[in-house]
Amino acid sequence: MKPIRLSYIITFLPAVFVLLSCGDDDEGDDFIGNWIELSEFEGIRRSSAVSFVIGEVAYVGAGFNGVEDEYYQDFWRYNVGQNFWQRVDSFPGVGRSAAVAFSIGGKAYVGLGFDGDDELKDFYAYDASTDSWSQIADFGGSARRNSVAFSLNGKGYVGTGDDGNTLKDFWEYDPENDSWLQIPSLGGSKRENAVAFVLDDFAYVGTGSDNGVLELDFWRFDQTLLPDFPWTQMEDLDEEDDYEVIRENATAFTMNGFAYIVSGVRGSVTSSVWEYNPRSDFWTEKTPLEGAARTDAVAFSVNERGFISTGRTGSSYFDDIWEFKPFDEEDEED
């Protein structure tokens, strides 16, 4: 593996914003996939929010707006079928950005993050049936931000991030006894601002950076191997293989047996989209995000439909939401 040094300064002049919005997309290339803009997120524009899905409903909340200098506690539910937003009970902890979330059954679990002064380790459960929150056991590791989280077979998993140093440890949450258990750390490099997703009872963790170095290694998590080492290294996200997947502060969703990594930062803000096929361990570039290139967005999947919302480019914060149709031809008119 060869790490790639990342050094970038984002300038907020309008002309530069246009260049950043184009990112590293190849205008002459024809890609498959179509983006459709839907009903705007009804909360205040923000970045570094969290999202989760319970049943057929997506939820988005928390986050930060640098223009307003506010860390948010509000949460909203998105009805995918009818394309509308509705306010739900606010998060009871301090407002925060760069938190994590995962869902198990009819509940979601939200914690960690940054409140403007400190990294955090508190966690809360949201019960969709009662629209209410309750505090659960604090995270078992150190207070941190910019971590990843996922759930598998009734357990939650949280790892990596930044507590003042970049991390690679992982922890398992058991909702039956409200407890955290440390499990073997991610193989390979420490990282923050990575992505995680679940396909076919395996979780995958990749992208992100450590001290400004974009990480190339990509890992599969097999829960059935615990308590032994559960991580298997997959093909690197390496430019030598004609990939440009490496990035940080991206977002990811899954549908129809594939995963999609969208936007993020790779030297500059990018709108590029890559599709992962777990059966061949192969990446394919798809149609770039038609909205503004962005970092620190959220993404979610409901009923085999994938969405991205919120995020920022420089000091511009977003509240738009886009759905991706991966097998359709691009249509810039919708």
Is position 93 within any domain? yes
Q: How far is CA 21 from CA 1, 149, 270, in A?
A: 29, 28, 7
Label residue 1 by pLDDT band (50, 70, 90).
very low
Is position 175 within any domain? yes
Is position 23 within any domain? yes
Is position 297 within any domain? yes
Summarize the confidence of residues 208-217 as an average pLDDT. Answer: 96
Please write the tens of the pLDDT for every residue from 62-95. Answer: 999 999 899 999 999 999 999 999 999 999 999 9
Please write the tens of the pLDDT for every residue from 117-137. Answer: 999 999 999 999 999 999 999
Least confident of 145-149, 189-193, 325-329: 325-329
Please write the tens of the pLDDT for every residue from 27-57. Answer: 446 799 999 999 999 999 999 999 999 999 9
Q: Give the chain's domain count.
A: 1
Cβ(216)–Cβ(237) under 8 Å? yes
Say whether pLDDT at 4 is over 90. no
Please give the model's pTM, rounded to 2 decimal places.
0.89
The confidence score (pLDDT) of residue 149 equals 99
The confidence score (pLDDT) of residue 240 equals 67
CA-based nearest residue to 272, from 221, 213, 207, 202: 207
In sequence order, what are the residues at sequence separation of 6 or more whose Cβ sits closer than 8 angstroms to the Cβ of residue 8?
Answer: 265, 267, 268
In sequence order, what are the residues at sequence separation of 6 or more whose Cβ sits closer than 8 angstroms to the Cβ of residue 108?
Answer: 52, 54, 59, 101, 102, 125, 126, 128
What is the residue range of 117's domain?
4-32+47-325
Is position 37 within any domain? no
Please write the tens of the pLDDT for every residue from 106-115. Answer: 999 999 999 9
Q: Strands 57-61 and 107-111, how do they pair?
A: unpaired
CA 113 to chain centre: 13
Kindly state the helix (H) or strand (E) to which residue 146 belongs, with its residue range. none
Give the tokens for residue 247.
């990035």
CATH of the domain at 159: 2.120.10.80
Is position 161 within any domain? yes
The confidence score (pLDDT) of residue 220 equals 99
The confidence score (pLDDT) of residue 239 equals 62
- Classify residue 250 by burial, with Cβ atoms within 10 Å: 0-12, 13-18, 19+: buried
Is position 331 within any domain? no
Cβ(274)–Cβ(238) under 8 Å? no
Say whether pLDDT at 301 is over 80. yes
Say whether pLDDT at 299 is over 60. yes
Is position 42 within any domain? no
